[in-house]
Amino acid sequence: ILIARLMKACHINPRQRGFIRAAGGSENRKVLQLLIRHAKREQRDLAIVFMDIAKAFDTVSHQHILMGLKKREVDPHIICLISNIYDNIYTCIN
- What tens-digit pLDDT sequence spans the chain (94 residues)? 666 777 777 776 766 665 566 566 677 788 889 999 999 999 999 888 765 555 555 677 888 888 988 988 888 888 888 888 878 776 667 7
C-alpha dihedral (21, 23, 26, 28), degrees to nearest 10: -70
pLDDT tens-digit readout, 35-52 = 999 999 999 998 887 655
What residues does each domain of the chain span? 1-51, 53-93
The backbone torsions φ and ψ at residue 46, rounded to the nearest 5 degrees and listed phi first, read -145, 125
